[in-house]
Chain A
Amino acid sequence: MALRAQPGPVETFVQSVVSGVLTGSLYAMIGVGLTVVFGVMRIINLAHGELVMLGMYGAFWAHALWKLDPFLSIALWVPLMFLGGMFVYRFLLRPIIPGGELNTLLYTAGLSLLIANLALFAWTGDYRTIKLPYAITPLRPFGIAVPIPLAIAFALAIVITAALYLFLSRTDPGRAIRATSQNPEAAALMGIDVERISMLTFGLGSALAGAAGVLLAPSLYLYPTVGEILIAKCFVIVVLGGLGSVSGAIAGGVLLGLVESLGAVYVSVAYKDTIGFIMFLLVLLFRPSRLFGVGKS
């Protein structure tokens, strides 16, 4: 479809919204893993960005070595990261938790440094991208540019979120996770093995991080310390939606994507991150129901 030379204001608006929602859905995927872990264990995992990075590299290497399309290799990396996450919890995190929240937070910060720099050492700092043959020309329904990998990622993100929702609401372990998230003492009294659930949840959070990384990889670029930037966005999303709330993280992600996109186009590109942070502060201050919904910290 031929492009009109100068897009009108409506087209510009629709393009901004579409871009914002698509990007936002990926942000949301990154945030969901972090919020699930916080909900159950009250841990803010600063190494979450590195877990996403590992997912990205997983997709890259699968594509570089075995010519596997990332959207297929996701089936390999999600279970691997699930197991990896459980391992990390059981052997690295669990002994730390009695030391308090701040210690755990800083421990994950140390872990994040460790993982990022091991990756640097192993894979060098060179920037990499995944080049997919179908990624070059975007779809243009009604003249609105929709990059194909982003569209597929969006669709898969919806599928994964739906699966997560079903898991949390319909299965026993899922319900146990929600119960522990709401009130760990009561859950223990009900016979839920809180330790086992914590391990499961961390595995789940890691798997979600890995999935987010795989989905993100074809649309972004990879380097070992990319986690730093991702985690900054993550915090905003997760707090916007309420720490511990999965649906909140999703809404937060899409909202942030929209605000950044519209902010860049209509207000100022230089300040677009500032707009996000200001919105973040406003929500923190004026939505007390979100704050106390997950209990005191």
Chain B
Amino acid sequence: MTDKTKVSSQDQEELRRKQEERLLTAWSAPKSWRYWSAVNNSEVGQWYTLTALSFLIFAGVLALIMRAQLAVPDNDLVSPDLYNQLFTLHGSVMMFLFAVPILEAVAILLLPELVGARDLPFPRLSAFGFWCFLIGGVFVCGSIFFGAAPSGGWFMYPPLSSDPAQSGIGADIWLLGLSFIEIASIAAAVELIVGVLKFRAPGMRINLIPLYAWYTLVVGGMILFAFPPLIAGDILLEVERAFDWPFFDADRGGSPLLWQHLFWIFGHPEVYIIFLPGVALIAMIVPTFAQRPVVGYSWIVLAAVGTGFLSFGLWVHHMYTTGLPSVSLGFFSAASTAVAIPTAVQIFAFIATVMFGRLVRSVPMLFAAGALAIFVLGGLSGVMVALAPFDWQAHDTYFVVAHLHYVLIGGMLFPVIAGVYYYFPFVTGKALSEKMGRIGFWLMFIGFNVAFLPMHFTGLRGMPRRVYTYPEGLGWDWLNLISTLGAFTLAAGFAAIVIDIFRPKGKQPYCQRNPWNAGTLEWLEEIPDQPWGVRSIPIVQHRYPLWDDPDFIGKVDRGEFYLPDAEELRRETMVTSVLDAEPIQCLRVPGPSFLPMITAVFTGAAFIAATFHLYWPTLAAGILAFASLIFWLWTGTAEIPEKEEKDVGLGLSLPLYRSGPHSVGWWAMFITMLGDAAAFASLIFAYFFYWTIHSDFPGSPTGAWALFCYGIGIAAVLGAWALTFASRRWNAAGAVSASRLAIIAAIVLALASGAALLAAPYIDGLDPRLHAYPAIVWILVLWTVAHIGIGVVMLGYCLARSLAGRLTPRYDIDICNVALYWHFAAINGALAPMLVALFPLAV
């Protein structure tokens, strides 16, 4: 290490210039048409944000048409069927194509810089998620122009939605189009969890991380456990529609209530998945404009984690009027009431921060204040409907419409706009207009309240949801007209904001660096923005490093911390430990590639072809997607570095390659499998749900031959698992041939297991079209066999990597991750057959 005092300042300048050149080469976005192969969080984040905002505008226009229709009684502006498509698409697009994606988009944009990293852990995965989102979203939204949009309400309740004659292709578009997008959401969750836990700048202990990171971590976990039940439900509903398996058909042992359970086990956490990131933005904005660190950091962590957990215990409050036992309803009333406590705590913490600071007025704070006023009102109406008896009157009326819009617009939309005004300089280097911001705010605030406050009353006076018109004389006429006027005012306000965002700013000067004088790391960002994110990865010792050390920005700029250079012209960032952010690895993250886009296009083609029941094209697209994915994995992951360790600066050398629980790839596999386990658990739940609603379920005990086949299946899958585990061990010990043979043997056993498991219900004569029982057994078996199949592909991949010299005893990421997969596959492969084989014998 050179002694700095001996090096002249001119040499130092020269060194820094060269470092910056190399960093630029490594991190610059590609030019011209190659720009679309970018995977860095800055590019992907901006595309994601703009796409989500476009969907918001689309869904908003749909709502304006709805309000125009409802402005006067007995209106005929739109037909009943078109109206059904309008409200279904409005809800679905807002929830699936705007609310969740915008928050993923903002996290992708912000998170790396917020924690002092240069990119997210899996940039190509984010890019893949974005392209899936774009393709799926255009597909779903485009349907209305063909009169083929889904029309069963955004919750798509069967039996309306399970009857192809009544609900048309729209329901398939909803099911398949949105499942496709849900993959993108789960991918984002994996990224964000790993990003928050493993990518922080050294020294940023868990008690020093920005609150936005805490909320993002909680939300990532929630997505992981909330989306899979919906995916499981989507699979069941689509299989019922396409192949007539009666999961939700009461005549053949199914139940529409099962869909409601699966949908709402997703649906309730979903709204908190939407709300928490909104509050997270407030948590970053308020301290800046109170000019002091946030008050009650521990309380806010309590609020985030507590809300995240509790939100999974609320789902039946959407089903209070379905005739479930009142004792069950009581549990959900209790939990729904309890969840208001952490919500209140964080609100008081933000008020306290303002009270004990010095408020600076600004557009972001104006929107934050509006958010508070609107959200608190929504929370209070929420506590009202949390009580089951009151909900018996309010359910499915406009009271609920009022409540949900108050909490979503107050808890998410206003905070997002506050975030847009706050972070616009971060993204573009220029500020938005204070004047337009204020005009937009007041129009939106007044318009919103004029539109939605009367709806509480309209609902209690008896107006149900989703009606396309209403007669005179029920007392709803004036209320609806006022709501419509308010809606258009709200739209005008929003239009002002949109104009402000998109107006040309070529002549406008750049703002100064850190224009709001904030304290957190993302404001290290240079203006205009440089592609490398942070100039060097800092050592963090405070929650608000920029406030703590006046020369912090200077030190980072001069490259006085880690990774100030990119000597091999690669994109590098640091991996650190979970609790105390001690450096573990220097990770090379992938650069631009068209593979994520290509894979997304093929995957999308497969889903779209399946929607139209074109099964050969589906198969072809699926194979192409699969091939593209394997190519991507082979060329882009688990790269063996040219040297063991690298000097990252300040006298520290870190390994370039880590496998097993220390590697981010292992974490990604683990987290993904947790989500997969949640979907599996949902299917098990479905099985037991049927048991509770039938007195004689299952109909008959498992036959002897079927039992035998299940037994073989279980034994073989456990054998495959053991062999995979052994293979990993032997490879690490250097016994490469033994390891390869073990893989081959594992593949053989796995295939045998799959065959045996498929034979078992067949031998038992279970016809899935006859009754829900054989249907759910077959689904459980098919799910298990599919997972075994994926395990076989993974084993084959490892074998190929080993033969090609890319998987060695020292560099064994692939087999470590596959062995981890097989732990989960073994549990699945043993539990599901045991359940379907043994439960009929037990009852």
Is A bound to B?
no
- B residues with CB within 8 A of A: none
